[in-house]
Structure 1
């Protein structure tokens, strides 16, 4: 079975009082204010920009493990995992370094694949193969660099600028900072190349495609959320798997929902340790699987960390970017 892991770079929860995070963005070179810096919680639609003096203010309602991302043209994108520092009313300073063009990694072998072929593979593995993927378009494909290594049977992709995706199925514009993208192939008995696994991760920011979402966007979002990894994580952390119609199987037999999960709630996060190497999930006749590697933490968004704590296969793994929702969806 093809195993897929990705950052959801791979989201009902009671709302808490809003927290306000403030700060200031300056240039590391000369300490001048940087205006127009995009500042957002990774994987959400919660964002703002810095003003003419570099100051910013952003609000959030949920306790989360999503870092704050600082991105501006001409500067290296900065990720700040410890967002609590911005609860200080003294406006903590974030210094951005000017970006330096880096030389591409030299691969000392001939790449036999054409760019057109590599792009077709990238679109398929990044956006997915679902009906929703047909309604998605990458607006800046020229910014994506692709290399195939025949000796390693691996396709890699990287980009210096965010990959911009127009999703006319869910009604979003997604700005995706691609940190890692790898497709690993293995040879089948017929000699054909088969995808062994796909892994990609990055940070993402969602914007509405229309000022007011169309009814079909709202319906499609509800459909994308139902049975998704995001819904599963929220339900798992609250022990509401049955209420949301998730059934758990081990070794082909249905088991009690939490038999193979050790769930330890905390004030803001939930620690999950799996007690089996692999379990299967069934939701409305859609089957998925989780291959466990290490304990992970879930926040109130349904976001989890670390991103490589497990691999996802089946329906959840095949959804990809085309069915990806912001982590704050429905909150």
Structure 2
């Protein structure tokens, strides 16, 4: 399994659960919060979609063709604080409406904040940038066809004492993904890799643009790669979980419990043995006897074993087992689950797990909250409540992420 545990904060990036015929719209005006003057050319978009626009000279904007569900509306303008507002078009929610009208007031960033220079590790920038790409774009098959177009806008700092790599960028990171046919503008809020704790935090907002294929063959390749990237993804899993169709969708999901490690004796017994052997060896030198079980090193190794280990239950979940306060909210979901998808791993993953053969895609999903709400378009909250380990922690990077409105063609 991949050794890194990933917190899914990749910009609220989940998927469309059903094709919807009724479309919604958002219209409004962007103004300066202090002067109340209109702001032209502000990027106004729905996070992790290809849906968005720019405000006109008078600050007005219109976004149409929005499918039912929940979204994060983003407004971004140089020199101003980013604006984010959850917009709920769910049919059964209070305030359900066909159209949202609003005025967005953007606050200017303080001049002293604009003048802050990130303490970069300029000497090791190239090495730090390779680490950034590894954890941001990934090392998947598709990552080989991705490139960051504005690398020098990314400020990188590595703290060798804490083993932490941090990245900042005032401008959106521009990613050209020739594997899936998208250009991504990523507004980075937080990027941190802790090499000591094996935790990765990536938090930001992506905006997608469709690339134009140069040939029909290119368009077919993109369609194939998008479809392949979708199946087995966290997005696919979340949709299946909401619809209680995990098994039918190719997922084998089992709950993981912790139990006492049967290979590790109790502390009281171990400490007694270790004390006895140390008393015999006052020089504190580890000397192995003919019987290794009489040696100090043997019992020290036993004491270093974890007190608890994971145990995987036999029951296979469909998604219907979770109590639901409504169709969208699953209760009592907190815990760890083994998730195996019925498809082989990418061959590039073998370098991580140090195997010579591929297996079915196996991951661990950690749900930290007791409840999880999944909307009809696949948007879920709280995004901070899900950690990944194993194959998905390696695979769910921006070389493989699809926009919110993507729907795979019928059939697999």
TM bucket (normalised to shorter chain) is 0.7 to 0.9
Q: Does 1:169 align with 2:179?
A: yes
The aligned counterpart of 1:224 is: 229
Decide which of 271, 275, 284 is 2:330's aligned counterpart.
271
Moved more, 131-140 or 34-43: 34-43
- 8 Å Cα contact 1:237/1:265 also seen in 2: no
1:141–1:106 distance in 2 versus 1, CA, 3 Å: closer
1:92–1:36 distance in 2 versus 1, CA, 3 Å: same
Alignment of 1:103-114 (within 5 A): 103-104=115-116, 114=124
Going by fraction, where is strand more abundant, 1 or 2? 1
Q: Does 1:330 align with 2:376?
A: no
- 8 Å Cα contact 2:153/2:173 also seen in 1: yes
Q: Does 1:245 align with 2:321?
A: no
1:318–1:113 distance in 2 versus 1, CA, 3 Å: farther
- 8 Å Cα contact 2:365/2:386 also seen in 1: yes
Alignment of 1:196-215 (within 5 A): 196-210=198-212, 214-215=219-220
- 8 Å Cα contact 1:42/1:68 also seen in 2: yes
The aligned counterpart of 1:6 is: 8
- 8 Å Cα contact 2:244/2:320 also seen in 1: no
Alignment of 1:286-305 (within 5 A): 286-294=361-369, 295-305=371-381
Give the Å deviation of 1:235: 0.9
The aligned counterpart of 1:235 is: 240
- 8 Å Cα contact 1:8/1:43 also seen in 2: no
Alignment of 1:146-165 (within 5 A): 146-165=156-175
CA distance in 2 between counterparts of 1:98 and 1:201 reads: 22
CA distance in 2 between counterparts of 1:161 and 1:77 reads: 11
- 8 Å Cα contact 2:23/2:65 also seen in 1: yes
Number of residue pairs the alignment of both structures matches = 319
CA distance in 1 between counterparts of 2:203 and 2:154 reads: 15
CA distance in 2 between counterparts of 1:86 and 1:97 reads: 28
TM-score, scaled relative to structure 2:
0.71
Give the Å deviation of 1:151: 2.3
Of the two, which has the highest radius of gyration?
2
1:255–1:244 distance in 2 versus 1, CA, 3 Å: same
Q: Could you tell me which runs of 5 or more consecutive residues in structure 2 were left unpaired when the two chains were aligned.
A: 90-94, 256-310, 343-359
CA distance in 2 between counterparts of 1:185 and 1:90 reads: 44
CA distance in 1 between counterparts of 2:88 and 2:59 reads: 18
- 8 Å Cα contact 1:21/1:87 also seen in 2: no
Moved more, 158-167 or 207-216: 207-216
CA distance in 1 between counterparts of 2:312 and 2:167 reads: 36
Decide which of 317, 325, 328 is 1:257's aligned counterpart.
317
Give the Å deviation of 1:90: 8.9
CA distance in 2 between counterparts of 1:298 and 1:86 reads: 17
1:272–1:51 distance in 2 versus 1, CA, 3 Å: farther
The aligned counterpart of 1:191 is: none
Give the Å deviation of 1:58: 1.4
Aligned residues: CA RMSD? 2.7
- 8 Å Cα contact 2:22/2:68 also seen in 1: no
Q: Does 1:17 align with 2:22?
A: yes
TM-score, scaled relative to structure 1:
0.87
Q: Could you tell me which runs of 5 or more consecutive residues in structure 1 were left unpaired when the two chains were aligned.
A: 187-194
- 8 Å Cα contact 1:261/1:273 also seen in 2: no
State the SS of the aligned residue for 2:225. helix
